[in-house]
């Protein structure tokens, strides 16, 4: 059953759906099954999804990316599992709809931002950043955002940011820094959907974590027994993707066409087969 409170039709707003981390085949299946219904029910214009765990729960391949795009995702973001599959190099070199975190050093293949275009709406910029606290060391996302956002604002005022980060404080701090300069900052990586959706005074929508799309009868999308065994014994285990209670999680955001300010933000958590 899809969320009953659809946004009202507004010809002067962009309706953006962000889909939280897609985990393995169950997550891809949820996107295939639920995304067309969500698009229709909420009059969604553009869909952004984090796909870094889409291939067996670790990384992404050419085929899994194609499956997600074919299901209706317009732009795909990633994070620290970007390099888990060798095929990602092909995507980074050839797929304009595919992003890696912007704050890799100069010369690394791929792009950290892009523009989505449509005939009837203003361009929508999507920016992918990765945090550094408890994460692999990259360039400073705060400094990268300070340089990139003004460049994107020369092309559009509608800017969506996926901040792939572990620390809540880092996510909030970066979003507060960008308040009034971007339309929305939504966090990924922890796979636990937070209940702090809000619109900051400058008009930037914010959610600390979008959650994840995949099996929730699990430990963050993985089979429970090997994860428990790893914590109990500190021995290596294979963390397979779980299969039960599949949800599509994320956020719906309505953005004013003229100003780029967010009007509404709402968490979504849609069960498969309900």
For residue range 123-157, list pLDDT tens digits in order. 999 999 999 999 999 999 999 999 999 999 999 99
pTM of the model: 0.94
Residues in the chain: 274
Catalytic, out of 42, 43, 81, 164: 81
Name which CATH class applies to 14-271.
alpha beta
Q: In terms of Cα–Cα distance, which of 195, 191, 247 is closest to 57?
A: 191
pLDDT of 12:
87
Contacts of 128 (CB under 8 A, 6+ apart): 77, 78, 79, 99, 100, 101, 102, 112, 113, 161, 162, 164
End-to-end distance of the chain based on CA atoms, in angstroms?
A: 5
Domain ranges of the chain: 14-271
- pLDDT confidence bin for 120, thresholds 50/70/90: confident
> Is 264 labeled as catalytic in the residue annotation?
no
pLDDT digits (tens, 9 = 90+) for 81-100: 999 999 999 999 999 999 99
- pLDDT confidence bin for 10, thresholds 50/70/90: low
């Amino acid at each position: 059953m899809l969320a009953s409170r659809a946004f009202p039709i507004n010809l002067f707003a962009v309706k953006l759906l962000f889909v939280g981390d897609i985990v393995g085949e169950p997550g891809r299946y949820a996107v295939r099954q639920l995304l067309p219904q969500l698009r229709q029910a909420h009059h969604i214009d553009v869909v952004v999804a984090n796909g870094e765990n889409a291939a067996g729960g670790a990384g992404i391949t050419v085929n899994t990316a194609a499956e997600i795009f074919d299901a209706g995702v317009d732009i795909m973001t990633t994070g620290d599992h970007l390099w888990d599959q060798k095929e990602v190099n092909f995507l980074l070199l050839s797929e304009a709809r595919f992003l890696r975190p912007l704050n890799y050093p100069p010369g690394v293949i791929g792009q950290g931002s892009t523009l989505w275009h449509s005939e009837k709406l203003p361009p929508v910029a999507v920016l992918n950043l990765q945090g550094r606290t408890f994460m692999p060391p990259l360039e400073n996302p705060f400094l990268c955002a300070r340089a990139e956002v003004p460049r994107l604002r020369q092309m559009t005022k509608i800017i969506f940011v996926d901040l792939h980060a572990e620390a809540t404080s880092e996510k909030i701090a970066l979003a507060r820094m960008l308040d009034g300069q971007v339309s929305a900052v939504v966090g990924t990586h922890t796979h636990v959907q937070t209940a702090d959706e809000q619109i900051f005074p400058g008009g930037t929508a914010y959610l600390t974590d979008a959650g994840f799309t995949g099996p929730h009868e699990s430990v963050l999308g993985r089979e429970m027994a090997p994860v428990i065994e790893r914590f109990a014994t500190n021995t290596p285990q294979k963390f397979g993707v779980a299969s039960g209670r599949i949800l599509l999680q994320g956020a719906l955001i309505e953005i004013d066409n003229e100003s780029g300010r967010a009007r509404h933000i709402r968490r979504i958590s849609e069960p498969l087969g309900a």
